[in-house]
């Protein structure tokens, strides 16, 4: 399997006792059976035993990078399926067998013969999904579409794959750093949002935290350390907050659980970045959860009663009320969230839900099957699957574009909006009025000239917000244009616009066809598929439609046809003259990088042999963790692993990534920037510049300071030799009286 490098090896290589090892494998298997016991029916035990033995024999010569027998991984994946996702016997069998077809001599036919079509189909889907991220773009698109089709047929494929990815992330320590970065990037890019969309909040949160552990290791460790240091203080505060609520809920006769749980490291980090605050200033480091035991017909009523009791005790923030009881998320999530002012002037988030809602929140899609009676959630999942099927209809989408569209259309957070008749519709965040028009119907989207949002006229590009009521205005004279693609995020809207543009292009291309026919006849040739291909390849175009369209719109004037050779019915294009390319970096895209070159030392001995540039999006400096990315036309670009674009590059273009590290070189300085916020004190600018230029002898490239209402905000661009020098500078400025924040910034303005 591609998430884990595996190698055939015997137990003796690691000086392990084979008998002890076998006992340990059996112990893990028995623990799996115990977890599954409530779901085992007659005949299931024999099937499970067969699957376990088949997987154990198939993987017997394989070990993971950690040195343990490989079979521990499939057993662990099966255990996650049972305990953390709530799947049953069939999924457990698939979990045990999920790597056999890809990595061993076992075939799909073997599995079909032993377990039947259903299990073979799921294992086939799991085998295909493993090849998605490591192939080129066109294959990737097709593979990903196959997976999504399997998802709409049988969602267990994705659920088992998420269990597989979670176990790989939990055991990623034994992998090499470049592999860790790639797998962590894929995880944050596709798998964590997918877990969220399937309603698996605990798994989504853990995947995000584990990805951050490798992608932003220093920040992860710092926040984890601070959470650990403040644990006693937080526990004391939670107990103080909960005490009066417990009394009120008990007096009101509720059967309930109430507890506090810390927010994830990843979500705390997001808050720090989004709000521009320090760890100490993040007010909701934890959430209080109230879980009620309520009959299904009284769930909403009881949740609102509890909300009333909570807000009687603590004053709520009205704009922070989230009602997912009236409008559950399309992944089935139902709850009431409110933020209240607790003791000591601290804001606290309180989440109110029932036992059924809590199980759906933790087990996601799998829990829906248990609560089919009286639940609307299946309808929401069915709609989501139907929308995915529609999106798969567009076969011309490139691999990376398709993944990006899938993310923004199907994995994003959602907003709910209303039609003029009051029907509620779910759309991804950042959807426009035009997205809504296409969501209603392709014909309405294609004729959309504007909209009324809450009875106010807005353009088609207007971004919608939850609670908006939208009325679409159409005209029969309207038709889609290229710039519409910049105004939409949903796959349905994008595909419909592209289809319309393609149809229009075909009509225009007909004119180009007659022009090319005349020109070919003018040099003694004929219009046939071979000759059109020769002309298309000569002009380096991707399709005949592109060629004919460009001829019709006079982007190509065909004067070079005079240089073509005519041989009977065929024309042959002249061989293009290739100009020599300095450093010839482009070859790195198509050929694998030799092992000896795989570690590029920037500013070391090999730096004068290869052209490179530092990425403007993150401005790396020596000491930063970096990687090289071979880009088309721009050569090798060096990015920080924490760069805003890093996850997408590492997840989608792994074959273009070059391992890099810094060589010591104190002669070269690098431009970077700091943003500073503090009290507007007399002489503060002089104190800052004195530290930079006077004490530390660092060159200043630019300095801007703005004061308002007793506070100043400034940006300083400086030349430093490495990360250590920058860290020292930050510490020195922070030590000045009245300085509140000093942060490095990585925008292109540096």
Q: Mind telling me the catalytic residues? A: 102-103
Distance of CA 663 to the CA centre of its chain: 32
User: What CA–CA distance (Å, rounded) separates 545 from 551?
Assistant: 10
Tokens representing 83?
A: 């305990």
Nearest to 462 by CA among 476, 475, 472: 472
Classify the C-alpha dihedral 232-238-241-246 as positive or negative: negative
The position carrying tokens 């490139």 is 398
Helix/strand/coil for 255:
coil
Task: Give the chain's end-to-end CA distance (angstroms, integer).
Answer: 42
Structure-derived torsion over alpha carbons of residues 725, 730, 735, 740, reported in degrees to the nearest 10 = 180
User: How many whole angstroms separate alpha carbon 482 and alpha carbon 496?
Assistant: 12
- DSSP assignment string, 680-717: --TTHHHHHHIIIIIIS-PEEEEEEEEEETTEEEEEEE
Q: Count the helix, strand and coil residues of the chain and give each as a percent rounded to the nearest 5.
A: 55, 15, 30
The C-alpha atoms of residue 419 and residue 278 are separated, in whole angstroms, by 42
Length of the chain: 750
User: Crossing angle of helices 156-170/72-83, nearest 10°?
Assistant: 120
Pairing outcome for strands 599-602 and 657-662: parallel
Phi, psi of 354 (to 5 degrees): -95, 175
Torsions phi, psi of 197, nearest 5?
Answer: -70, -30
Report whether 361 contacts 310 (CB < 8 A): no
Please list the alpha-helical segments (H only) found in 252-375: 265-275, 299-313, 355-363, 365-370
Q: Residue 450: which of 418, 477, 472 has the closest Cα?
A: 472
Radius of gyration of the chain (CA): 30
Burial class (CB in 10 A: 0-12, 13-18, 19+), 64: buried
CA distances from residue 577 to 538, 570, 587 in whole angstroms, order as listed:
11, 22, 17
DSSP helix/strand/coil, 267: helix
The residues, ordered by sequence, that sit 6+ positions from 625 with a Cβ below 8 Å of its Cβ are 217, 640, 641, 642
Which tokens belong to 133? 């991220």
Token digits of residue 607 = 């730096």
Contact status, residue 646 vs residue 660, Cβ threshold 8 Å: no
3 state DSSP class of 355? helix
SS3 state at 57: helix
Report the candidate in 340, 362, 338, 364 with the shortest Cα–Cα distance to residue 351: 338
User: Could you give phi then psi for residue 194, rounded to 5 degrees?
Assistant: -65, -40
CB 66 within 8 A of CB 43: no
User: Are 686 and 712 a contacting pair, CB within 8 Å?
Assistant: no
């Amino acid at each position: 399997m591609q998430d884990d490098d595996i190698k055939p090896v015997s137990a003796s290589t690691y000086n392990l006792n084979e008998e002890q090892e076998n006992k340990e494998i059996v112990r893990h298997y028995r623990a799996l059976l115990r977890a599954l016991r409530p779901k085992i029916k007659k005949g299931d035990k024999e099937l499970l035993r067969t699957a376990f033995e088949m997987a154990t024999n198939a993987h017997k010569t394989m070990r993971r990078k950690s040195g343990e027998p490989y079979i521990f991984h499939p057993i662990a994946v099966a255990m996650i399926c049972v305990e953390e996702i709530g799947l049953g016997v069939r999924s457990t069998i698939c979990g045990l067998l999920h790597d056999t077809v890809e990595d061993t001599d076992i075939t799909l036919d073997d599995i079909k013969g032993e377990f039947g079509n259903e299990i073979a189909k799921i294992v086939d889907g799991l085998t295909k999904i493993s090849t998605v991220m490591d192939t080129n773009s066109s294959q990737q698109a097709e593979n990903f579409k196959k997976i999504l089709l399997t998802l709409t047929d049988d969602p267990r494929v994705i659920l088992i794959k998420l269990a597989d990815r979670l176990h790989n992330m939990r055991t990623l320590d034994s992998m090499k750093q470049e592999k860790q970065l790639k797998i962590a990037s894929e995880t944050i890019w596709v798998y964590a949002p997918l877990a969220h969309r399937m309603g698996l909040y605990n798994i989504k949160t853990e995947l995000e935290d584990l990805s951050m552990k490798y992608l932003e290791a220093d920040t992860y460790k710092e926040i984890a350390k601070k959470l650990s240091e403040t644990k006693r203080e937080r526990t004391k505060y939670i107990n103080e907050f909960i005490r009066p609520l417990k009394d009120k809920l008990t007096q009101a006769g509720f059967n309930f659980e109430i507890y506090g749980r810390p927010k994830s490291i990843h979500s705390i980090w997001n808050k720090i970045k989004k709000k521009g605050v320090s760890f100490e200033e993040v007010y909701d480091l934890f959430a209080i959860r109230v879980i009620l035991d309520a009959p299904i017909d009284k769930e909403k009523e009881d949740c609102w009663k509890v909300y009333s009791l909570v807000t009687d005790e603590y004053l709520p923030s009205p704009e922070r009320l989230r009602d997912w009881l009236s409008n559950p998320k399309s992944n089935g999530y139902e709850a009431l969230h409110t933020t209240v002012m607790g003791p000591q002037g601290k804001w606290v988030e309180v989440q109110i839900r029932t036992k059924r809602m809590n199980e759906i929140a933790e087990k996601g899609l799998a829990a829906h099957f248990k609560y089919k009676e009286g639940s609307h959630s299946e309808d929401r999942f069915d709609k989501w699957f139907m929308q995915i099927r529609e999106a798969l209809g567009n076969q011309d989408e490139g691999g990376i574009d398709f993944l990006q569209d899938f993310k923004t259309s199907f994995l994003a957070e959602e907003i709910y909006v209303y039609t003029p008749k009051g029907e509620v519709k779910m759309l991804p965040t950042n959807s426009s009025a035009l997205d809504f028009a296409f969501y209603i119907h392709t014909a309405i989207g294609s004729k959309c000239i504007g909209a009324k949002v809450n009875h106010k006229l807005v353009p088609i590009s207007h971004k919608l917000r939850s609670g908006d009521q939208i009325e679409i205005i159409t005209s029969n004279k309207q038709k889609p244009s290229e710039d519409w693609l910049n105004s939409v995020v949903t796959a349905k809207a994008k595909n419909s616009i592209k289809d319309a543009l393609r149809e229009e292009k075909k009509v225009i291309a007909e004119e180009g066809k007659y022009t090319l026919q005349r020109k070919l006849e003018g040099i003694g040739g004929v219009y046939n598929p071979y000759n059109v291909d020769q002309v298309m390849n000569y002009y380096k175009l991707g399709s005949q439609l592109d060629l004919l369209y460009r001829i019709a719109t006079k982007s190509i004037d065909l004067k070079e046809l005079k240089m073509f050779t005519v041989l009977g019915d065929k024309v042959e294009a002249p061989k293009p003259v290739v100009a020599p390319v300095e450093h010839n970096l482009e070859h790195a895209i198509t050929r694998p990088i030799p092992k000896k070159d795989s570690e590029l030392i920037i500013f070391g001995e090999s730096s004068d042999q290869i052209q490179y540039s530092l990425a403007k999006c993150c401005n790396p400096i020596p000491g930063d963790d970096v990687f090289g990315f071979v880009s088309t036309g721009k050569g090798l670009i060096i990015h920080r692993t924490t760069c805003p674009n890093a996850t997408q590059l590492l997840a989608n273009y792994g074959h273009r990534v070059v391992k890099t590290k810094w060589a010591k070189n104190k002669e070269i300085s690098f431009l970077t920037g700091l943003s500073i916020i503090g009290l507007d004190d007399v002489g503060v600018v002089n104190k800052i510049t004195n530290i930079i230029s006077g004490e530390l002898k660092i060159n200043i490239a630019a300095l801007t300071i703005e004061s308002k209402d007793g506070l100043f905000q400034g940006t300083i661009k400086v030349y430093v030799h490495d990360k250590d020098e920058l860290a020292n500078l930050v510490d020195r400025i922070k030590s000045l009286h009245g300085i509140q924040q000093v942060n490095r910034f990585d925008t292109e303005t540096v």
